[in-house]
Amino acid sequence: MKPLMPRVARSLPTARDAARSTALSTASGLATGSSELPHWDLSDLYPGQESEELRRDLDEAEAAAQAFAGHYAGKLAGLDGAALAGAIAEYERIDELLGRPASYAGLTFAGNSDDPAIGRFYQSINERVTAIATHLIFFTLELNQLDDDALARLLQDADLVRWQPFLRDLRVFRPHQLSEEVERVLHEKSVTGAGAWSRLFDETMASLRVELDGQSLTVGDALNKLSDRDRPTRERAAKAIGETFGRNVRLFSLITNTLAKDKEIGDGLRKYPRPGSARNRGNMVEDEVVDALVVAVTSDYGRLSHRYYAMKARWLGLEKLEHWDRNAPLPADDDRAVSWDDARTHVLGAYRGFAPELGEIGQRFFDHPWIDAPPRPGKSSGAFAHPTVPAAHPYILMNYHGRTRDVMTLAHELGHGIHQVLAADQGYLMSSTPLTLAETASVFGEMLTFRALLDAETDPKRRRRMLAGKVEDMLNTVVRQVAFYRFEILLHDERRTGELLPERIGELWRQVQTESLGPAFNFTPDYDVFWAYVPHFVHSPFYVYAYAFGDCLVNALYGVFADGHPGFQQKYVEMLRAGGTRRHKELLAPFGLNASDPAFWRKGLDVISGFIDELEQD
C-alpha cells in the first residue's frame, strides 16, 4: 500500500523463507492436548462471505467516508486543535471499519487461493474497499500541506497531542506526496496494477504442482523435501522444483519485470532517491542505517556463512555442498518429530518463563481458533501473523510439519501475535510498528524458545546439533535475507535500463548466492530459477532486510537481558505495547542501545560468530 493512502488495506505479512519453515466446529480441543493440528475460525471477523454483517460494514464505511469528505475536504487548515483531533479520530474509525473486511478477505484467500470463488470474493472486496477509500485520500494530503509552524501551534492542544506520533510519521512522506488528483488515480488503479500482478503470482504459485517420486506436491511440500535426511531425495526434489519453476519462468519474469517497472514509475513520481528508499521511509529508518547494516553483514560473510558451511561440508563428508544441501540435517541428527502439543508446551513455557503476561497472551491463541497450522493444497506457504483490527484479534498461519524448525516458526509467529495484541491499545493508526521493529518480538521469542530448549537438553551431542541448527536459522535470517536484499537492489537498478530476460535474473540470483554462501557451494543451473518462489519480491519489495535488522537487534537486546539489565522484562513489554508510537532510537534507549552506531550491528553479528566459534571447538 502506498504510504500516503488510507491504511484500510494493510496487506498480509508475506511468508518467511520457505526453507525455514475452513472453520473449526469447536475450539475446545485446542486447549486439551489434542494432537490434531488447529484450523482457524474467521467468524470472529464475519460469519461468512455473504453475511449481512460484512455488507453492513461496507455500506456504513461508504456512507461515512462520503460524509467525511463532504465535511472536511478543503477545510483542515481552518480547524483548531480539538477539531482536528476529532477529524483524525473519525478517519481512524472509518479506516478500521474498512480494515476488517479487507483482513477477512485476505485471510480467506491465504487459506485457499485455489478456489476460484474465493479468488473472486477477494478481488471484489479489494475493489470495493479501494473505491470507498478513495473518498479519504484528501485527508492525509491536506494534513501534510499544513505549515510546520501552524501544526506546531495546533499540537499545543491536549486533544491533538495523542495523535502526534501519527502526524510525525505522516510528515516523513511530505516531500514525496503528489497532487490529490494523481494520488486518487494511483490509488484507484492499484487493484488493476500491482495488486493484480500480486494476485496472479499467488494463484499461480498455489496452483503449481511438483512431480516427485510419483507424487504431485505443492511447492511448499516440495521445498520441505530440501531438508530431507536422504541426499538423493533432496537432489531429486531440487531438480523437480527447478523444472517446475523453469516451465513457468517466463511468467514469473514478466511479473517481476512489470512490478519493478511499476515501482520505478512510482518512485520517480515521488522523487525517491533509490529503489529501497520508500521502504526505508515506511520503516522510519534512514537509508544510511540500512546501508550500515548491509555493509556489516556482507563484510562478515567470511566469518559467518563461509566458515559455517565449510564446516558443514566436512560434517557431511562432502568436498562441495550443492544448493540442496544447505538445509540438510546434520549427521546423527534425528530431528525427532515434535507433536503439536509438545510444540505448544515448549513455546508457551519459554514465554511464561520470561514474562507471565506474554505467556498468558500467547495462551489465548491456543485456547481459541486463531491459528491455522495444517499444510494443504492452495494454502499460502510459509507463515505469517496478521493483526486484523484492534477490535478483533490477530490470526496466525503456518504450515506445521513437526520439525524442530516448525517449533521455532511457531515461536516466531506467536511473538508477532503477542506484539500485535499488546500494541492494539494504540488504535488502528498507531498500533502497527515499522517492519524493522515488528521483527523484534518474533525473533526474541525464537531466542527465548531456543535457549529454553538448549538449557533443558543434557546430551552434549544433541546440544551441539541444536546449536548448529540455531546457527543455520540465524544465517537464513541474517545472511540469506541480506543476500535477498542485494538481489533486489541489483534487479531494480538494472531494470531501469530495460526489461531483464529470465536468464539475466538467474545470473543476478546466482551472483548473490555465490557471494553470500561462499566457496563451499556448487550451484547447478537449475538453481538459477529459485528466485521465483520468494513472495517478498512480489508483495513487499525490499522487505527482507527487516529480518536481518530484527535478528541483529534481538541479539544485542538479548545480550542486555543476559547481562541482568534491571527491569528488563517490564521495559521489554512496554516497548511492545508502544506499537508504532515511538521510533527505534526511543525504544532502544532504555536498554542503552543505539542502532545508528555501527558497533551495534557488529555486536549482533558477534553472537552468531561466537556460536560458530563454539562449534569449531567441538
Assess contact for 290 and 595: CB atoms under 8 A. Answer: no
Q: Give the closest residue to 381 by CA, choosing from 213, 201, 179, 587.
A: 201
Q: Examine the fold and report which residue of 168, 198, 228 is the final residue of a domain before the chain moves on.
A: 198
The SS3 assignment for 321 reads strand
Assess contact for 381 and 219: CB atoms under 8 A. Answer: yes
Cα 100 from Cα 106, distance rounded (Å) = 10
Q: Give the closest residue to 407 by CA, choosing from 330, 342, 474, 472.
A: 342
- The reply to whether 154 and 274 lie within a common domain is no
- The reply to whether 164 and 270 lie within a common domain is no
Q: Examine the fold and report which residue of 183, 198, 213 is the final residue of a domain before the chain moves on.
A: 198
- The reply to whether 321 and 439 lie within a common domain is yes
The answer to whether residue 206 is domain-embedded is no
Cα 2 from Cα 20, distance rounded (Å) = 29
* Grid cell listed for 198: 500480486
Crossing angle for the helix pair 404-423 and 460-477, to the nearest 10 degrees: 60
Q: Buried b vs exposed e over 452-461: b needs ≥16 C-beta within 10 Å?
A: bbeeeeeeee
Per-residue confidence (pLDDT) for residue 14, from 0 to 100: 37
- The reply to whether 180 and 259 lie within a common domain is no
Cα 559 from Cα 545, distance rounded (Å) = 21
- The reply to whether 181 and 298 lie within a common domain is no
Q: Give the closest residue to 272 by CA, choosing from 259, 258, 287.
A: 287
Per-residue confidence (pLDDT) for residue 284, from 0 to 100: 85
- The reply to whether 154 and 256 lie within a common domain is no
- The reply to whether 290 and 174 lie within a common domain is no
Give 515's Cβ-side CA count (13 Å radius). Answer: 19
Q: Is 32 exposed, middle or buried (0-12, 13-18, 19+ CB in 10 A)?
A: exposed
- The reply to whether 187 and 278 lie within a common domain is no
Q: Which helix (H) or strand (E) holds 372?
A: strand 371-372
- The whole model's pTM is what? 0.80
Cα 490 from Cα 514, distance rounded (Å) = 14
Assess contact for 579 and 432: CB atoms under 8 A. Answer: yes
* CATH for 567: 1.10.1370.20
The answer to whether residue 397 is domain-embedded is no
| The total number of residues written for the chain in this structure | 618
The SS3 assignment for 396 reads strand
Phi and psi of 386, rounded to 5°? -115, 125
Per-residue confidence (pLDDT) for residue 16, from 0 to 100: 38
Residue found under cell 494504540: 426
- The reply to whether 166 and 308 lie within a common domain is no
Q: Give the closest residue to 219 by CA, choosing from 199, 198, 240.
A: 240
Per-residue confidence (pLDDT) for residue 8, from 0 to 100: 41
Assess contact for 42 and 244: CB atoms under 8 A. Answer: no
Per-residue confidence (pLDDT) for residue 33, from 0 to 100: 36
Residue-by-residue DSSP string for 62-87: HHHHHHHHHHHTT-GGG--HHHHHHH
The SS3 assignment for 322 reads strand
The answer to whether residue 229 is domain-embedded is no
Say which DSSP state 181 is in: H
Per-residue confidence (pLDDT) for residue 334, from 0 to 100: 64
Cα 85 from Cα 154, distance rounded (Å) = 10
CB atoms within 10 A of CB 77: 12
The answer to whether residue 342 is domain-embedded is no
The answer to whether residue 512 is domain-embedded is yes
The answer to whether residue 213 is domain-embedded is no
Q: Examine the fold and report which residue of 159, 181, 198 is the final residue of a domain before the chain moves on.
A: 198
- The reply to whether 444 and 524 lie within a common domain is yes
Contacts of 201 (CB under 8 A, 6+ apart): 252, 255, 535, 538, 539
The answer to whether residue 591 is domain-embedded is yes
DSSP β-ladder status, 395-397 and 371-372: parallel
Assess contact for 14 and 539: CB atoms under 8 A. Answer: yes
167: containing domain: 7-11+44-198
- The reply to whether 472 and 582 lie within a common domain is yes
DSSP β-ladder status, 384-386 and 395-397: antiparallel
Residue found under cell 505467556: 359
Domain count, the chain: 2
Helix, strand, coil tally for the chain in percent (to 5): 70, 5, 30
Three-state secondary structure readout of 326-364: CCCCCCCCCCCCCCHHHHHHHHHHHHHHHCHHHHHHHHH
Residue-by-residue DSSP string for 191-231: TTTHHHHHHHHHHHHHH--EEETTEEE-HHHHHHGGG-S-H
Say which DSSP state 320 is in: S
Block means of pLDDT (10 residues each) for the chain, 618 residues, are 38 38 30 66 97 98 98 96 97 97 97 94 95 95 93 95 95 87 86 91 94 94 92 97 97 97 95 93 87 93 97 95 94 79 97 97 98 93 93 96 90 97 96 85 93 88 88 93 97 97 98 97 95 93 91 90 94 95 90 84 90 88
Q: What is the CA radius of gyration of the chain?
A: 24
The answer to whether residue 522 is domain-embedded is yes
Q: Give the closest residue to 410 by CA, choosing from 501, 349, 481.
A: 349
- The reply to whether 266 and 186 lie within a common domain is no
Say which DSSP state 500 is in: P
* CATH for 173: 1.20.140.70
